[in-house]
Amino acid sequence: MVAKSIRVTLLFLFFAFPSLFAVWGTGESLMPAAEVTASIDPYQTVADQPIPGTVTVTHDNSQTVDEGSFQMGGKPLKVNHVKTVNINPSQTVVLSIYSFQLPGQSAGLYILPTISVKVGGKTYQTIPSSYEISQAQQMSQESSSGVTLSLKALIDGPPTVYPGQRIWFIYRFYFSGSIDLTDEKLPLLEAQGFQLVGDKRIRNYQEDNIEVQEISQQVQAIKPGKYSFPASSAEGYAYRDDIIKKRVYLAPKLKAEAPALDVTVTSFPAAGKPSAFRGAVGQFTIQTSLLTPAEVGVDEKMLLAIDINGLGEISTIGIPDLSSIKNSFRMSSLPPEVKTQDGQKRFVVEIYPLATSIKEIPPIPFAFFNPLIGDYVTENSAAIPIQVKATQVPKKEEAAPATPPPATPLPTPPSPRPQEVPSIAPSGPLEVEEKIQKPAAIEIAGNLELTDADLHNLWFGTWSTLYIVPFAFIFILAQKGYKRYREKFPTKEVVKTSQSMLDAAMRTKDPSVFSKRISQALLLRLFELGYTTSEEITFEELPEAGVTGEVRELLSEIEAGRFGKQTLSLQQLKAKAKELFDRLIPSETTSNKGISNDQS
């Protein structure tokens, strides 16, 4: 029995808990529990310096974090909200990050006490953790004299920088001896307002017996404007290794500074800016070539390669202005294929000739800004001769044309893009226009008929369905409990007596119901008193003599009244029946059951 209970309990846990957990996870109706963690930044734990820490609260978006309720070791803790991060856009769980600061401590290993906070009205707390304070600032009595540290900041690039151009931001540390830097402010490496290109480069070399570490970062100018970078600084302690290779830090603290720097990104001159200019900076040439045959049909695909070579910022080269070919060719809506290799950028464009009258792919202009001359230059590719043939296109009503209709060449200039043509020309080049506008065959399987059922979630197809699991367990366990109860307390059979049946008959107002009930009451009474041996007999089977005869007579009268004219009212019948019922006394032969059906 106990084993069975354990089995049931285990089965319940196996199903119910994951289900509830899953339902909570969906955030559909149940609120997930919050979680709080705290940590100390291991890289900033220096002796006698304020110790920064972070508390991360994982909670549901609807739950609010009470910032005033933060406590550490039972004492209030002042925190600052850093940010709130939504982990997944489809979920409501968010991370709220708070920072706090502990007073400076001497070097050693410490325990971060429990931090508690109220989230959504409930209190959650962290698990105590350990952190170590290093002895970086623990000075020896030795002096750091003889150790030098200086910093230089510089910008390597042209005197005038235009958007898209790349320059280098460089820092050089000059030092002698061993130095452990404790703080650096190097705003050039963050390059606010510029786009970083690649990773930082670090180079170490010697200059006049002084160690030099050079950190450089390539950046790309984005927008015109003046960008100011504040003074840079670095500070740290000189150190020497003792006999057990342990660092001994030397006072005083060394500090080096580099002055603030300004970089001005000049905007491109407005005067003389060609319409084909897309922001390319450098000195380039443009060439075009066909990757597909030069002989094609109307609206057949051609692949045009546009190659741009030269010196300059390849990344600033965008797709050239193709408006010169858009009048004669339909352009694919797909983005062009782009390849960059060895200072060359190639664009491969899909184009579709619109008419047989087109004889060439016209020159494509490419405009760029040459920073050396400080002006715009426009280069043009050479025209490419092509031959466009008429394509056989069935007319609207023709399922399969026997012979293709003769193509009529369009007068130059060719028609605009088919998508932009609002209506078909009424005569002349009508057939060709129709061919151009005729849409291609459908390439994919068609839609499925959308019905109302497709707009709703499937029945029992959502996470709410998992509520069936606890319901199932409760239902089964309730049955088991009920069965056990029934076994313990079996129900008593309700025995109907003639008196209770008489009472029921007296209460009714319906003559037919009264007739039935009074008949049952009297016959049962006769059986109880020993006048008959069975309660199942009918009144016609009763003897005609004595009280049984009176009962027979009354019931016959009531029965006759149901199908004919009733001489007595219902009340009179009730009174008569009651009087007769009361007159029935135990039979003299009750003990030996003398009267039976047979005697009648």
Partner 1 sequence: MISLRYLPVLLWICLHAECHEKLLDEANAAYKAGETAHTLIERQEAFNHALNLFTDFEHLYNPQYGTGVLYYDIANTYYQLEEYPFAVLYYYKALQLMPRSYRVHNNLAITLDKLVIPMNKPASVFNDIFFVHTRFSFPERMQLFFALAMILIVLGSVYVWKPIRIIRASITVVSLCCALMLFSLLYSRYFEPIEGVIVHSSLLYRDAGLQYASVSDQPVLSGNKVKVVDVQHNGQWLKVVTTAGDIGYVPLTAIRVI
Positions in 566-595 near partner 1 (CB under 8 A)? none
Nearer to partner 1, 26 or 71 (CB): 26
Nearer to partner 1, 263 or 505 (CB): 263
Shortest distance, position 445 Cβ to partner 1, whole Å: 5
Nearer to partner 1, 2 or 450 (CB): 450
| Options 20-28, 59-67, 270-278, 541-549: segment touching partner 1 (CB under 8 A) | 20-28
Near partner 1 by CB under 8 A: residue from 9, 25, 213, 586: 25
Within 386-405, the residues that bind partner 1 by CB under 8 A are 396
Cβ-contact 553, 600 below 8 angstroms: no
Nearer to partner 1, 299 or 321 (CB): 299
Shortest distance, position 440 Cβ to partner 1, whole Å: 9
Side-chain-side CA neighbours of 150 within 13 Å: the count stands at 6
Shortest distance, position 439 Cβ to partner 1, whole Å: 5
How far, rounded to the nearest angstrom, does the alpha carbon of residue 476 sit from its chain's CA centroid?
37
Shortest distance, position 434 Cβ to partner 1, whole Å: 8
Cβ-contact 263, 217 below 8 angstroms: no
Nearer to partner 1, 419 or 591 (CB): 419
Instruction: Please give the Cα distance from 214 to 171 (Å, whole number).
Output: 6
Within 301-340, the residues that bind partner 1 by CB under 8 A are 315, 333-335, 338, 340
Side-chain-side CA neighbours of 355 within 13 Å: the count stands at 23
Cβ-contact 219, 169 below 8 angstroms: yes
Shortest distance, position 333 Cβ to partner 1, whole Å: 4
Nearer to partner 1, 334 or 495 (CB): 334
Shortest distance, position 461 Cβ to partner 1, whole Å: 3
Burial grade of 295 (CB within 10 A; 0-12, 13-18, 19 or more): exposed
The 337-356 contact track toward partner 1, x by CB under 8 A, reads -x-x----------------
Calculate Rg over the CA atoms of the chain: 50
Q: Does 223 bind partner 1 (CB under 8 A)?
A: no
Within 417-476, the residues that bind partner 1 by CB under 8 A are 418-419, 421-422, 424, 437-439, 442-463, 465-466, 468-469, 472, 475-476
Instruction: Please give the Cα distance from 594 to 600 (Å, whole number).
Output: 11
Side-chain-side CA neighbours of 375 within 13 Å: the count stands at 4
Looking only at the bridges linking them, the beta strands covering 384-385 and 360-361 are antiparallel
Within 172-201, the residues that bind partner 1 by CB under 8 A are 191-192, 194-199
Q: What is the DSSP string of 113-179?
A: --EEEEETTEEEEPPPEEEEEB-TT-EEEEE-TT--EEEEEEEES-SSB-TT-EEEEEEEEEE-S-E
- Say which residues have a Cβ less than 8 Å from residue 186's Cβ, sequence separation at least 6: 171, 215, 232, 234
Q: Where are the beta strands (DSSP E) in 291-374?
A: 295-297, 302-312, 329-331, 337-341, 344-353, 360-361, 365-370
Instruction: Please give the Cα distance from 577 to 555 (Å, whole number).
Output: 9
Shortest distance, position 13 Cβ to partner 1, whole Å: 12
Shortest distance, position 15 Cβ to partner 1, whole Å: 7
Within 53-92, the residues that bind partner 1 by CB under 8 A are 83-90
- Count interface residues toward partner 1 (CB under 8 A): 71
Letter string b/e over residues 482-512, b meaning 16 or more CB atoms within 10 A of that residue's CB: eeeeeeeeeeeeeeeebeebbebbbebeeee
The 512-551 contact track toward partner 1, x by CB under 8 A, reads ----------------------------------------
Instruction: Please give the Cα distance from 317 to 338 (Å, whole number).
Output: 11
Nearer to partner 1, 103 or 461 (CB): 461
Nearer to partner 1, 18 or 230 (CB): 18
Cβ of 551: how many Cβ atoms within 10 Å?
Answer: 26
Which residue carries 């786009």 as its tokens? 195
Shortest distance, position 264 Cβ to partner 1, whole Å: 18
Shortest distance, position 403 Cβ to partner 1, whole Å: 21
Q: From its phi and psi, is residue 265 left (phi > 0), alpha (psi between -120 and 50) or beta?
A: beta
Shortest distance, position 437 Cβ to partner 1, whole Å: 4
Within 473-512, the residues that bind partner 1 by CB under 8 A are 475-476, 479-480, 483
